[in-house]
A and B are shown apart, each in its own frame.
Chain A
Amino acid sequence: MTRNAVKANDERDKGPAGKDGTLARRDLFRVAGLGAGALGAAVAGTVAAVPEAEAAPAEPQTTGYRETDHVRKVYEVSRF
């Protein structure tokens, strides 16, 4: 009984081309500690959250450096 079951399993593993590689990969990930839930929902969720676009800082009322449209244009064209 048991032998039969094992044999059937073996045959299934030898299925269509590319199947072996997929299973071997899966085994490797599992053995290496990359199981399905390895990262946990908390981390995955925190990381996947797209950071909210930062609101443009209010223009300070000073006579010092200000990022005017002209300055922004210079930054834009000097991008490498």
Chain B
Amino acid sequence: MSRAVVDHNVQPPVAEEEHLRAQIYTLLARLLARAPDAGLLAALGGLAGEGGEFGTALDRLAEAARGSDPAAVEDEFTTLFIGVGGSERTPYGSYYLTGFLNEKPLADLRADMARLGIARADTVTEPEDHIAALCEMMAGLIGGEFGDGAVGLDGQRAFYDRHVGSWAGRFFADLETSPSARFYRAVGAVGRAFLAVEARAFDLAA
């Protein structure tokens, strides 16, 4: 079906399923960094899952996207992650792992980032252990975009276990049950389903 679209003469730099992982991380990063605009919502509305827990979550995300307008999602994003006098969710690894922002997990992350050749963008002021930043890093590690290039599955796994898998699943589960969340409940479900697959897949590769 989709076979006709694949040009076998062009060797992809990373295997198809690995490329898809990077795309999903990129999508999660985009949705958690700022609210989706009308164009992205429309594109999300056209998604059709391909079965399994992740596919079901994707279907729900598409449904949520079709039933949301950009202004409402923008408000929802603000309530959830920015807030007036405090946000509903705190999407930082350090907070989830220690109860405080800017704690040792952030220092550990910065050390690993330096080792892998990753730096925070000049225009960004949030600490690097924000979930969106970590998703971007995972996508970049899969695509071999940093430092000396591809780190391989072992390198990805080490980074994932230490900085993502240790808390992000709980964050996505929290997002799914956030009282103010509508659209972002579906995002939480997609993230949780995806990370569950990621964890199992890393085990298989070991």
Residue positions of A touching B, CB distance < 8 A: 21-22, 24-26, 28-40, 42-48, 79-80
Contacts and interface: CB of A to CB of B under 8 A. Distances in A.
A44 B200 CA distance: 24
A17 to B, nearest CB: 12
A78 B194 CA distance: 37
16 contacts: A25-B17, A29-B201, A32-B55, A33-B50, A33-B51, A33-B55, A36-B16, A37-B50, A39-B20, A40-B43, A40-B47, A47-B23, A47-B27, A80-B102, A80-B125, A80-B127
Contacts of B193: 32
A39 B25 CA distance: 11
B21 to A, nearest CB: 8
Contact of A32 (B5, B30, B125, B197): B197
A67 to B, nearest CB: 14
B84 interface: no
Nearest to B204: A24
Contacts of A35: 20, 50
A32 B23 contact: no
Given A42-B43, A46-B43, A33 B56 contact: yes
B200 A34 contact: no
Contacts of A39: 20, 23-24, 27, 47
B206 interface: yes
Contacts of B6: 36
Q: Is the interface of B mostly helix, strand, loop or mixed?
A: helix
B44 interface: yes
Interface string B75-104: 000000000000000000000000000100
B52 interface: yes
Nearest to B205: A21
A73 to B, nearest CB: 14
A47 B40 contact: yes
Contacts of A34: 17, 20-21, 24, 50, 52, 54, 194, 197
